[in-house]
Structure 1
Amino acid sequence: MKTQILIAAIFFSGLTFAQEKKSDTLKTKSIEGVTLTKQVFKKQSDRFVYDVAASPVTKGNTTFDILKQTPLLSSTDDKTLKIAGKNNALIYINGRKSNMDADSLVQFLKNTPAENIQKIEVITVPGSEFQVESSDGIINIVLKKKMSDGLSGNMRMSNSQNKFNGSNASFSANYRKDKLGISANLSGGENIQGQSYVLRNGNDLSSNESVGDINDPNKNLGGYLNIDYQLNDNSNLALSWNTWANKSYNSTVDLFNTTRSYDKKNDDYVMNYTRSRNKEDARSYNNSVNLNYELKTDSLGSKLNINAAYLNYKRFQFTDNRTILSDVYGNDIRLGRQTFQDLPQIINNFSGTVDYNKKFKNDFTVSVGGNYNKTKTNNDTKNNTLDYAYDKFGNLQGITNTPTPNHFVYNENIYGVYLTLEKKFNDKFSGKVGARYEITNSVGTSDNAATPDLQRIERKYNNLLPYVSFNYAINDKNNISYAFSSRMRRPSFWEINPVRNILTEDNYTQNNPFVKASSTYNQELTYMFNSSYFLILNHSLYKDVITQVPLQRDILKKRLDEMGNPVLDENNQPIMDPHKQLRYIRTNFGDKQEMSAMLGIQKTFFKQYLTANFNIGLQHNINNGSLSVDPTSGDVFPTYENKIRSTSIVIQTNNTIRLDKKKTWFLGVNYFYVDKQQIELGMLKDLMSLDLSLKKNWNDWTFAVNVSDVFRTNVVEIEDYQDNGNYNYVKNDQFRRGVTVSITYNFGNQKVKKVRDIEGASDAIKSRTR
């Protein structure tokens, strides 16, 4: 509550700037009118460029809203951004990678105004100079550059109603005076992320079903401070600080579980019922600081960039997982098992980068640089499992305590160098070739390892990652380009921390310290016509894919009567029945190929009353993975295989309709459809969503209403059937249908020049935190 009051006070304090802005109203409107004609989507060298400029389409929206409507970009979960034919996309600002971890970045984009965006660049196959992993592409947000001194800012408040209500607010300010520039942002909010689950797994002899809800309250507060000082005409010094905090207390899981096992003696099924009631308290903090020095070495644009950064990430998580014996109607009988987990994670990283970009008069550019990352993660996990025993009258007889602590420390050092050569041969043809060489040394140690193999895990590997691309402008209307890139993906730090995250007593995820880096080989052919129509052909080969694999097996458990007491046989011994245990193991899972063909258009119609962005394509997946042993324990399971091919259709369209001549009313109609496709966990059923929005611009104010997932069709369903008779089914509804109402206000001198956004030296590490 204190956070909301603070941000609201800051928001309304901005009203004092309203009078300062009235004199500039007509001037601002005329600029917007001119810029609107420049909204084109075009291919430039190694990237696609979407020029959103000062369009009223961006006014009042968040940066995340605009990114979702950019050609080739999409988001099916409203959390991650994807580029067509790629996995997740990395966010860059003015050519520099964003200085936040993955979770913080999403909240930051949803609380950052889009008014200051000049254009959005989509780099589907990044060059060797970029520190990216796997098949990740890059989204580079280029901000407007304004020339005069002064103060400007933006304030936004929004309220969303999905299953629960949530609110967000943000305050941004930019100040420039002579050689000094300062930018700052404060944003925060609170919501409850609600989900419902249906989980089924097993075979004809034994099976599990869990049905229920997960509710996750979140409070967020964070922001940044950038200070940029021009030392002289050729050099700049900049200091940036990013911070984000999340508090998620009283997250709850409430699942009703039904287990079925076959009794050969009586030729019938035995049913048991339990409830999983879990409670979690978690909080995380992310702080990073970066010092940057930039030196221009000649008049052609050659420059030297030096960065030094420090990152500190902390997450504290405490869970109370309870298995409660129940009857067929879900009524509680008594507590059967309780597991307490204390799961802290602390990450410290020091990073440094040096980049030199040398330009020559004959349109030839040489880029060379290097990076160093030193990271230590500390995971001091504590687990205590309590098993409760009762007599036949239901009286507690005793409690068995099984502690399983594990202190896992991971140290990693990465050394990298790159060389890129770029040449513009003439007005039509340009090319780029480069390579990155990386050395990775890591050691993971465990004080209380379950097996000797887990006590010390040492990795050393070197990788040479080549890159080549060319771009040929056939004429003014036709352009063709090709790119090839080799990349690797290191496991995220949480993936290698050998802990279990319990959902139910027999269903949990298992992280894996033996996960090794995977490799990816990407190639892409692009044809563009008239800066409006495009065709993209893409092929990606993944080696040693890092993913989650569902392994299930039968384990013997005591048969219980309706009162939760063990059922005894004629020899007065407990009767043991088979029960299905399901582990989602994080591991390397074979190879995979993805091929896609995307046809699209980005164009305005009817004298710019309609701006349409439409993509349609085919994606073909070839999976080749097999696993039968839990690599963390050596437990043997029936083999899980995924050697299935699938072809699916993908459709996305984003449309903005101007409703009046004055360009103050806008209607948005956005839709996506993803056909069913085979993924690592099984067959993902089709997804779709229709989103509508209505926006009104009034002087420096913007009022907007957004309705997402109108028909509530964006619900995840995955099903898998194995040749050995095992099946697995997951249905996850995150209640994405909802209404968001927002108010945005711009104040101050809108000509303020933006502070330079600097790539932090630790940015390559941040994406591997939570």
Structure 2
Amino acid sequence: MKKQLRSIYTALLLAGSLTVVAQTPDSAHIKGLKTVTVTAQKPIIRREIDRLIYDFQADPDSKGSNVLEIMRKVPYLSVDAAGNILLKGNTSFRILVNGKPSALLEKDPSQLLRTIPASTIQQIEVITTPPSKYDGEGLSGIINIITIKRKTDGYNGTINVSERFPANGPGTGASFALKSGKLGISAFGGASKSDRPHTINDMQRHSGGESPAYLEQDGDKRSGRKSAYLGTEISYEADSLHLLAAQLNISRDNSDGKGYLLSDLSTNHTTLQHYYLNNTEDGKGNSMDAGINYQITSRKNKNNLLTFSYRYATNGKDLNYQQTFTDTINYFNPGYRQYNNETFGEHAAQIDYVRTFKKFSMEAGVKGIWRNNTSDYSYEYYQSSSGKFERDPSSDRFNGSQDVFSAYNSYTFSTKKWDVKAGVRVEQTFMSAAYQSDSAHLHKQFLNLLPSLIINRKLNNNSSLNLGISQRLKRPNIYRLNPFTDRSNPSSESSGNPALRPTSITDFQLSYSWSGKMSVNAGISYSYNNNMFMEIAAFDTTRYITRTTIQNNVKGGGLALNYSINYPLLRWLNLNINGNTVYISVKGEENETAVRLNTWINMVNTALAARLNKGWKLNASLNVIGRNQVSLQAYANAIISTSFGFNKELIKDRLSCSGTINNPFTQYRNNRITMNGILFTQDNRTQEYFRTVNMSVNYNFGKLRQGIQKNKRGIKNDDGN
């Protein structure tokens, strides 16, 4: 009996934490074990054949953090100094919510994920070698966010209220689920108010050529943003063979800002141009998508499925900018306005079929996507003679369309030791673009064959080796195709390019996973890009401005090492290390001159989490980002950030509160972007609040008994770049 108990005790120690409470009638004579309480730490990371899963609910930090903050700990993911999400060091990927695209995350996913409480999310799936059933869009893979699944007849939910200061401001988020018989409803939503008080910015530019010049600008800016979002899903299970599901996602945001800028352009200590600029800006954005899915299950085999899906999505952005000039020298524009109204619409229809056999399964499907993009932009200059703003002739309206038709077929074969998933996807893209003021039209079409292969070898001791080979695409969206020229700073201009072609990538990845008392995930990958579109800046020596456009003239490759370690140092203390190292070697052109880039990028996040008595949890993290390349010509300075926090459970499994202080030793941080061109070097500095305090209260309510049914197939297109 003692040997058996010792074996059980050892096994539980290997599986996680263990607490044993024994009651005996006599301390001198142990007659039996009356009460045993076992508390095992739920694994945070686990591996499947084509994805790696990070369980938010097993992470104690999720009670007082937002989704973006927890993403720093997810294998293969990182967040740079500007808050941009990176997958294997790349900003090109797809984001899905519950396996489906969402308009909520189409325009600026980082901004929205910063407002969503992590407590409303069940897990994140990282798919670095997407199977053929997924659209080819997204160079580095797919991030699938799974909201909390409810499992009862009845209802339950989560409410989170937070405050962040001195910047970002208050926010609230909630999730809810209801199931009554055959009907299931789930929803998540929230709202936030983000204010960034007084922050300074400046820019220095040295330009060459026949008349070298020096530009210096100093400014101050205040900005604010209000946003709200709601996502819902309704399912009706007519019987065990027929399931009807629908989803609706909506979001809206309003932003405003104002500031000033003092600009001085000189050469040989002689002033060429000088002005003082006051500016105001405001913007409105909205997005919506709605879809319906009808799933039929085979009576003989519940794994055989036929799904019909339809989705409509739309989003828009309206930006207004106005500036006035005073104290001018050799600058003759007293006032300027620019407007840009962008709209996007999409219809998508899809049919999927899944058939399973004894040792393998087959998937096949067809899909059509019809997209329309418009941009109505105008410029107005103040005329002293009339005392009014008058429209500039360069104002115009841009219309673009993109239709994608695809078909796929894939097979999965599984044994006790091996899993193999192979398939191919064919995508035909038709693109057209036109201006209202021009009768000429641009028409292009592209045919892409996208194979994928995943081989997983199960080893001993809960470990596996995974090999993935795939080809992916990146199509330019409305924001990159839009020819609207941003002239909000008179010393620089930037615009999109309606003639952009899709970028293709070939990716090879080898990864290793092991889970036990410690979990380890490591992968090495090589990616080669062809016709990559990237921002290219050139200096105009006649106007003394830098002009940035997007071009398909960059190609090259990247070698990446990604690693993640989750280790319980003690029964109550857990360590998480997540990082990546990327070597980039690409080349492009600036004004028909070759530009080469060979550089290393390093990012690592280290986090400690302690579980103490009486419901207390403490956490600390250190995030290090090396010099980060943001374009072919520009890089951002390194960053080291720290965070310390706590979580206190007030009512077990119901009510908790948390607090976090970020970067307690530094009030402000200067974000610097350095750009090197053929005839110029430029350094931009933007100050941000670095020391912030977050307070949060999280409340769980209700209880369910059966899981709300979700379609196993649905529309999965949503090309976001």
Q: If the TM-score is normalised by the length of the shorter chain, which range does it land in?
A: 0.7 to 0.9
Match of 1:130 in 2: 134
Residue 180 (1) aligns with residue 132 (2):
no
What is the identity, as a one-letter code, of the residue corresponding to 2:553? F
- Evaluate the alpha carbon distance shift between residue 173 and residue 492 of structure 1 in structure 2; reply closer, same or farther with a 3 A threshold: same
Residue 465 (1) aligns with residue 445 (2):
no
1:5-16 → structure 2 map (5 Å cutoff): none
Deviation (angstroms), 1:41 = 2.6
The 1-side partners of 2:587 and 2:38 are apart by 53
Match of 2:20 in 1: none
Match of 1:11 in 2: none
What is the identity, as a one-letter code, of the residue corresponding to 1:644? L
Deviation (angstroms), 1:518 = 1.0
The 2-side partners of 1:241 and 1:412 are apart by 23
Deviation (angstroms), 1:463 = 0.7
1:43-58 → structure 2 map (5 Å cutoff): 43-53=47-57, 56-58=60-62
Q: Give the TM-score taking structure 2 as reference length.
A: 0.86
Match of 2:357 in 1: 360
Alignment counterpart, residue 314 of structure 1, candidates 292, 316, 321? 316
Match of 1:533 in 2: 520
Deviation (angstroms), 1:166 = 1.4
Residue 622 (1) aligns with residue 575 (2):
no
Deviation (angstroms), 1:540 = 1.3
Is the 8 Å Cα contact of residues 387 and 401 (structure 1) preserved in structure 2? no
The 1-side partners of 2:264 and 2:371 are apart by 44
Alignment counterpart, residue 669 of structure 1, candidates 620, 636, 641? 620
The 2-side partners of 1:667 and 1:756 are apart by 36
What is the identity, as a one-letter code, of the residue corresponding to 2:660? N
Match of 1:642 in 2: 595
What is the identity, as a one-letter code, of the residue corresponding to 2:249? N
Deviation (angstroms), 1:727 = 1.1
Is the 8 Å Cα contact of residues 63 and 647 (structure 2) preserved in structure 1? no
Is the 8 Å Cα contact of residues 537 and 547 (structure 2) preserved in structure 1? yes
Deviation (angstroms), 1:145 = 4.5
Is the 8 Å Cα contact of residues 275 and 331 (structure 2) preserved in structure 1? no
Is the 8 Å Cα contact of residues 697 and 703 (structure 1) preserved in structure 2? yes
- Evaluate the alpha carbon distance shift between residue 402 and residue 148 of structure 1 in structure 2; reply closer, same or farther with a 3 A threshold: closer
- Evaluate the alpha carbon distance shift between residue 760 and residue 342 of structure 1 in structure 2; reply closer, same or farther with a 3 A threshold: farther
Worse overlay, 589-598 or 526-535: 526-535
Match of 1:294 in 2: 295
Alignment counterpart, residue 561 of structure 2, candidates 597, 600, 608? 597
Deviation (angstroms), 1:623 = 2.2
Match of 1:261 in 2: 267
- Evaluate the alpha carbon distance shift between residue 207 and residue 471 of structure 1 in structure 2; reply closer, same or farther with a 3 A threshold: same
SS in 1 for 2:41: helix
What is the identity, as a one-letter code, of the residue corresponding to 1:74? S
How far does the alpha carbon of each residue in 1:492-513 deviate from its partner, in whole angstroms, 9 at most, with x for none? 1121111111231121211211
The 2-side partners of 1:697 and 1:303 are apart by 43
What is the identity, as a one-letter code, of the residue corresponding to 1:587? Q
- Give unmatched runs, 5+ long, in structure 1: 1-32, 263-267, 328-332, 390-395, 556-578, 629-638
- Evaluate the alpha carbon distance shift between residue 383 and residue 94 of structure 1 in structure 2; reply closer, same or farther with a 3 A threshold: closer
What is the identity, as a one-letter code, of the residue corresponding to 1:446? Y
SS in 2 for 1:403: coil
- Evaluate the alpha carbon distance shift between residue 757 and residue 732 of structure 1 in structure 2; reply closer, same or farther with a 3 A threshold: farther
The 2-side partners of 1:397 and 1:118 are apart by 58
Match of 1:233 in 2: 240
Match of 1:740 in 2: 694
Match of 1:380 in 2: 376
Deviation (angstroms), 1:192 = 2.2
SS in 2 for 1:494: helix
The 2-side partners of 1:464 and 1:697 are apart by 53
The 2-side partners of 1:63 and 1:291 are apart by 27
SS in 1 for 2:378: strand
Match of 2:434 in 1: 445
How far does the alpha carbon of each residue in 1:624-659 deviate from its partner, in whole angstroms, 9 at most, with x for none? 01121xxxxxxxxxx66530211243322122122x
Is the 8 Å Cα contact of residues 144 and 754 (structure 1) preserved in structure 2? no
The 2-side partners of 1:189 and 1:144 are apart by 21
The 1-side partners of 2:91 and 2:446 are apart by 24
Q: Give the TM-score taking structure 1 as reference length.
A: 0.81
What is the identity, as a one-letter code, of the residue corresponding to 1:552? F
What is the identity, as a one-letter code, of the residue corresponding to 2:373? T
Deviation (angstroms), 1:141 = 3.6
SS in 2 for 1:100: helix
Alignment counterpart, residue 403 of structure 1, candidates 366, 369, 393? 393
Is the 8 Å Cα contact of residues 224 and 241 (structure 1) preserved in structure 2? yes
Is the 8 Å Cα contact of residues 405 and 427 (structure 2) preserved in structure 1? yes
The 2-side partners of 1:73 and 1:211 are apart by 35
Residue 147 (1) aligns with residue 151 (2):
yes
Residue 190 (1) aligns with residue 203 (2):
no
Is the 8 Å Cα contact of residues 368 and 406 (structure 2) preserved in structure 1? yes
The 2-side partners of 1:675 and 1:199 are apart by 22
- Evaluate the alpha carbon distance shift between residue 610 and residue 388 of structure 1 in structure 2; reply closer, same or farther with a 3 A threshold: farther
The 1-side partners of 2:39 and 2:147 are apart by 14
Is the 8 Å Cα contact of residues 355 and 368 (structure 1) preserved in structure 2? yes
How far does the alpha carbon of each residue in 1:37-62 deviate from its partner, in whole angstroms, 9 at most, with x for none? 23143332122233454554433544
The 2-side partners of 1:751 and 1:78 are apart by 42
Is the 8 Å Cα contact of residues 231 and 248 (structure 2) preserved in structure 1? yes
How far does the alpha carbon of each residue in 1:316-342 deviate from its partner, in whole angstroms, 9 at most, with x for none? 222213343358xxxxx9983422222
How far does the alpha carbon of each residue in 1:566-589 deviate from its partner, in whole angstroms, 9 at most, with x for none? xxxxxxxxxxxxx52111212223
What is the identity, as a one-letter code, of the residue corresponding to 2:240? D
Is the 8 Å Cα contact of residues 93 and 757 (structure 1) preserved in structure 2? no
Residue 581 (1) aligns with residue 545 (2):
yes
How far does the alpha carbon of each residue in 1:162-189 deviate from its partner, in whole angstroms, 9 at most, with x for none? 4x45111123321110100112334112
- Give unmatched runs, 5+ long, in structure 2: 1-36
Residue 214 (1) aligns with residue 221 (2):
yes
Deviation (angstroms), 1:728 = 1.9
The 2-side partners of 1:610 and 1:168 are apart by 30
The 2-side partners of 1:400 and 1:457 are apart by 30
The 2-side partners of 1:739 and 1:653 are apart by 20
Deviation (angstroms), 1:160 = 1.0
How far does the alpha carbon of each residue in 1:406-427 deviate from its partner, in whole angstroms, 9 at most, with x for none? 1111122111111111111x21
Match of 1:765 in 2: 718
What is the identity, as a one-letter code, of the residue corresponding to 1:158? S
Alignment counterpart, residue 406 of structure 2, candidates 412, 416, 437? 416
Is the 8 Å Cα contact of residues 149 and 175 (structure 1) preserved in structure 2? yes
Match of 1:3 in 2: none
Deviation (angstroms), 1:719 = 2.0
SS in 2 for 1:343: strand
What is the identity, as a one-letter code, of the residue corresponding to 1:67? M
Is the 8 Å Cα contact of residues 293 and 711 (structure 2) preserved in structure 1? no
Worse overlay, 193-202 or 437-446: 193-202
SS in 1 for 2:91: coil
Is the 8 Å Cα contact of residues 512 and 585 (structure 1) preserved in structure 2? yes
- Evaluate the alpha carbon distance shift between residue 404 and residue 203 of structure 1 in structure 2; reply closer, same or farther with a 3 A threshold: closer
- Alpha-carbon RMSD across the aligned residues, in angstroms, is 2.9
Percent identity of paired positions between Structure 1 and Structure 2: 20
Match of 2:12 in 1: none
The 1-side partners of 2:109 and 2:706 are apart by 25
- Evaluate the alpha carbon distance shift between residue 309 and residue 183 of structure 1 in structure 2; reply closer, same or farther with a 3 A threshold: same
The 1-side partners of 2:91 and 2:343 are apart by 27
Match of 1:689 in 2: 641
1:471-510 → structure 2 map (5 Å cutoff): 471-510=456-495
The 1-side partners of 2:114 and 2:699 are apart by 16
Match of 1:30 in 2: none
Is the 8 Å Cα contact of residues 365 and 407 (structure 2) preserved in structure 1? yes
The 1-side partners of 2:42 and 2:521 are apart by 18
Is the 8 Å Cα contact of residues 134 and 717 (structure 2) preserved in structure 1? no
The 1-side partners of 2:670 and 2:507 are apart by 30
What is the identity, as a one-letter code, of the residue corresponding to 1:174? A
Deviation (angstroms), 1:345 = 1.5
What is the identity, as a one-letter code, of the residue corresponding to 2:342? Q
The 2-side partners of 1:470 and 1:70 are apart by 23
The 2-side partners of 1:582 and 1:55 are apart by 46
